Chains A and B, each alone.
Chain A
């Protein structure tokens, strides 16, 4: 699995050649391939092609309007690796991704367990918890930006009217508080999706395991630690992987709230990339950063694939119909 994941990088030309080959032997084209083909073509065209384009661009000197002006090899990458702002953004991306994903899981797990249990108003509670999902990230960020306004913001209004603070707090004035607030908003918007996945897992869990545990006199914590958690592992895994990918790539929250400021103190890789590409017109360098980000995620995904295949090896073999092509 891991090997095929690596070779997926060179899939595009292979896939095209392979497609053509099968087309040539069109009498033999198999039903499953025919079914996969349209989606493959779309994904290859819309996502694969720009990746290749990006790889090519990152080795070029590029004018600010995207005109390629000659091959420069690794120069763009060298420039990225010589830039202190890149390292700062990379480091902050790690904190951002780690904190948001960890925070989301820590909150979503108990919330999902509550929502899975039977209690009065569960339907309402589920709707409420899912609610942030229905607003776009951009709009959420716009609303929070307004709510966090120092002197007129309604967050300060609430805290002042409750007597928690006397003076308004300027939430976004310093990088440390601004970044913390952004992480909290990031967690808030990630909870619904994560809770949904976990809730799906919990509700599909066999009840007999619990009943046996109760008979054995297992306490709540032991039940959770030795039954719930192991059974939930695949769901937690997928929640982690998808969240890492989304959060790592997420622009709107930070962009709308602080644009990476003050003093680049909340810049993560995507905001830095956006500025480089569209404000400063350094498209070569920006492409290089895109590829580096792609590399980071690739490594992460491969790790996940390895983990997954190890799990699958333990599970029962897949139940499949034999295809006609064999």
Chain B
């Protein structure tokens, strides 16, 4: 066996190329975001630049309605995550604890919903939202994101729920508690780690979704962040790359920090729950 120190050095050497490639886009974002505008297109290209222009961020914020897009993204992601969880928890519980007609069918149906990419369905979805009167309404994204994530959330939660012993609930039933009470009082607190993991996953998916947001949101004040940033690049007579990158930095860093903090739960949840 190698000593821990030796092993650490070896592992970091192996990981180094990957880490460099992972950090590269972040470095690109940052270095471009703080560059003066006239140093964007220089030849030969270089990492260096003359001064840190932090004003780029402020300019970008005002020019691109970044704050509005940020709020939209937060609203959609948080609400969609909550909705997906509220619908998935009982379903996953039922799948984990009961035998009932159509269970296998339902499982396969969920797998199929997972297969559909929003882009494939976008026109049908648009017509649907139109009938529901939800076009140009952020709630149309909330509903679709919740629906598209449900397959994964139910599957994830169910596998995790399977690993929670039934004894506690059974004891509660003996004491005359209803199924609902035992679910809320006894079971859910035990399931918190799995719920957190599922929530992170759904949140990230919703936060990052692009195609549906592009199609459903008609006016610029309803744009979510990915659409907002894409619209700074696409079909413009001129792309303000330093503003675009300032936008991506601001859109990314908070999530990256949050994510770094929560990722341990993600792995633990996968370990406890998935693929049982």
A residues contacting B by CB (< 8 A) are 1, 4-5, 7-9, 11, 15, 18, 30-36, 38-40, 42-43, 45-51, 53-54, 57, 66, 107, 110-111, 114, 117-121, 123, 125-140, 142-147, 149, 151-158, 160-161, 168, 188, 191, 196-197, 199-201, 203-204, 234-235, 237-238, 242, 245, 248-252, 256, 270, 273-274, 277, 283, 286-287, 290, 293-294, 297-298, 301, 305, 318-326
**Known contacts A43-B110, A136-B208, A305-B108: A120-B42 contact under CB 8 Å:** no
Residues in B with CB closer than 8 Å to A237 are: 275
User: Quick one: CB contact mask for B38-59 with A, threshold 8 Å, 1 for yes?
Assistant: 0011111111000000000000
Of listed B44, B102, B108, residue having the most chain A CB within 10 A? B108
* B128 contacts A245, C-beta separation under 8 Å: no
Contact status B124-A54, CB under 8 Å = yes
Query: In the assembled complex, which residues on chain B have CB atoms less than 8 Å from the CB atom of A57?
Result: 123-124
A50 cross-chain contacts in B, Cβ below 8 A: 121, 123-125, 127-128
Extra inter-chain contacts (5) besides given A42-B87, A132-B22, A142-B233, CB under 8 Å? A1-B108, A47-B121, A128-B23, A248-B117, A318-B162
Contact with A along B248-262 (1 / 0, CB 8 A): 100110011011100
Contacts from B to A (Cβ < 8 Å): 4-5, 7-8, 11-12, 14-15, 18-19, 21-29, 31-32, 40-47, 87-88, 90-91, 93-95, 97-102, 104-106, 108-117, 119-125, 127-128, 143-144, 146-148, 150-151, 154, 162, 166, 179, 204, 207-211, 225-226, 229-230, 233, 241, 244-245, 248, 251-252, 255-256, 258-260, 263-264, 266-275
State the CA gap A290–B15 with chains docked (Å): 39
- Asked if B12 contacts A139 (CB within 8 A), the reply is no
Contact between B45 and A46, CB atoms less than 8 A apart: no
| Closest A residue, CB atoms, query B241 | A146
* Given known A117-B11, A135-B248, contact A40–B106 (CB-CB < 8 A): yes
Residues of the A chain whose Cβ atoms lie less than 8 Å from the Cβ of B21: 188
Please determine whether A125 and B15 come into contact, CB atoms closer than 8 angstroms: yes
Question: Mostly helix, strand, loop or mixed at chain A's interface?
Answer: helix
A-B contact count (CB 8 A): 335
Contacts of A121 in B (CB 8 A): 8, 12
Q: Specify which of A33, A39, A134, A235 is in contact with B100 (CB 8 Å cutoff).
A: A33
Q: Which residue of B lies closest to A30 (CB)?
A: B100
Using Cβ atoms and an 8 Å threshold, which residues of chain A touch B26?
131
Minimum CB–CB distance from A40 to chain B (whole Å) comes to 7
Cβ 8 A contact of B127, one of A53, A119, A155: A53
Q: How many whole Å from A304's CB to the nearest CB in chain B?
A: 8
Specify which of B99, B146, B209, B245 is in contact with A42 (CB 8 Å cutoff): B146
In angstroms, Cα B119 to Cα A133, docked, is 21
- Contact status of A321 and B260, CB under 8 A, knowing A50-B125, A137-B210, A152-B42: no
Q: Could you give 9 example pairs across A and B, Cβ below 8 Å?
A: A46-B143, A131-B23, A147-B28, A157-B44, A158-B24, A245-B115, A249-B116, A305-B111, A319-B162
